[in-house]
Amino acid sequence: MIERYSLPEMAEIFSDESKFRRYLEIELLATAAHSELGVVPREHAQTCRDRAPVVDAKFVAEVSERERVTDHDVAAFVDVVQQHIGMPASAWIHHGLTSSDVVDTAWCWMLRDAAVLIDRALVDFYESLVNLANKHRSTAMIGRTHGVHAEPTTFGAKVALWALQVRRDRERLAAATKRIAVCKLSGAVGTYSNIDPEVERRVGAALDLVPVPATQVIARDRHAEYLWACASIGTTIETIAIELRHLQRTEVNEVREGFGAGQKGSSAMPHKRNPISSETLTGLSRVLRANLQVGLQDVALWHERDISHSSAERIVLPDSSLLVYYVLRRATKLVTNLEVDSGQMLRNLDLLHGVVFSQPVLLLLVSSGMSRDEAYRLVQELSAKAISTKTNFKRLLSSDDRVKLSSQKLDEAFDLNIALKRSQVVFDALSSDNS
């Protein structure tokens, strides 16, 4: 992942030093478990722990140098570790294991830790949405369908629905985290032919990972589910970002992204104030979905294993983790600093001279005895006239002899408070566990 979208706390999880520290801990835990089962002399297992190398930039460079000889990264890692520990104890490092035991367990460990960070960011984003929704519970605005004015809604209700979707994303992430927080130390083709299953159990317990049956590799549907959770979060954020981009258009101008002191919207046009965060989030969500496609294609492997998934995972698993964490932090900042123009929302709501109240008028006419089709055609005709002549829709209704409604009934049909009286229902869901 390019540095621009890498936040340090997530980048650290996937650094080479962090990866090799995890490899080393898995090897040491496995050696210790072997010693507890009487396979490895206890003093040798203790020597491995005592003489284990410090994993730093120098160590990473040593492994890289050794890989030029072995052309195998895990073999190079094992060679370097054994050189640091020294014989005879070092001979027990990687005993009974295959590369995927170490690599797959480390991947799951990294992704589990990444998911913890993502969940924290999800909570912060969710809370920022809930705060914005509550602040604008009663901020009336026009609801739009097909990009066209429909009926009144509130900005708070819109944001509350976003929050509920983020809550569902947390549930999806939790399920994916459970599925990925596993380990496998069952040797070549996964039959435990040269390693006791108790070693796997003990290493898993130490790392808080659940041992699972596997071939030589952990099944990749687990990793695909993790990538799906990341892509789903990105798509939720894109949903919000696209809406905010539309609402920031000059002709709409209902919300605006925060604009910092000294910020420039355009290198050429000083007046510009662009929705750059929303556009960035939209673009990055595409990458998250594209990475999911790679993850799904990685599920189908030859026989008990191949490495067609390996090269792709080195890119998509860290990148999706880094990206989803970045977009969550960026989206939280966007929502927290969002400027909402409630006055402009009201002006836009009345832009079509009241025709957005056409449905309550239609229903009142039906209640007065008119057939639905007759009432619909009448309201449709007068709505079109209101728009084309820029005339108040309510006034046209009042002056038309075909409309047999009292002024009180018409007032009720055009009462914004009545139109929005049940818009708070979404907040009931927000305050409950049912999303």
Using 50, 70 and 90 to split pLDDT, how confident is the model at 387?
very high
Residue 267 confidence class, pLDDT cut points 50, 70, 90 = confident
The tokens for 306 are 């191949």
Which positions are catalytic? Answer: 146, 266
Instruction: Go through 372-404 and write b for each residue having 16 or more CB atoms within 10 A of its CB, e for each that does not.
Output: eeebeebbeebbeebeeeeeebbebbeeeeebe
Which of 60-74, 168-182, 257-271, 279-293 is least confident?
257-271
- Give all domains of the chain, ordered by start, each with its CATH number: 1-95 (1.10.275.10), 97-254+273-349 (1.20.200.10), 355-413 (1.10.40.30)
Please give the angle made by the CA atoms of 156, 160 and 163, to the nearest 5 degrees.
Answer: 145
Among residues of the chain, what percentage have pLDDT more than 70? Answer: 99
For the stretch 97-147, pLDDT in tens is 999 999 999 999 999 999 999 999 999 999 999 999 999 999 999 999 999
What letter does residue 182 receive in the DSSP assignment? E
User: DSSP label at 66?
Assistant: H
Question: What pLDDT, on a 0 to 100 scale, did the predictor assign at position 434?
Answer: 60
State how beta strands 210-211 and 140-145 pair.
unpaired
In sequence order, which residues have a C-beta less than 8 Å from that of residue 9 and are 6 or more positions away? 117
Contact 354/396 with Cβ under 8 angstroms? no
Q: 28-37, 228-237, 265-274, 362-371: which range is least confident on average?
A: 265-274
Cis preceding-peptide flag for 270 (omega within 30 of 0): no
CA 318 vs. chain centroid, Å, equals: 14
For the chain, the distance separating the N- and C-terminal CA atoms, rounded to the nearest angstrom, is 34
Q: What distance in Å separates the CA atoms of residue 273 and residue 214, rounded to the nearest whole number? A: 54
CA 333, 339, 345, 346 dihedral sign is positive
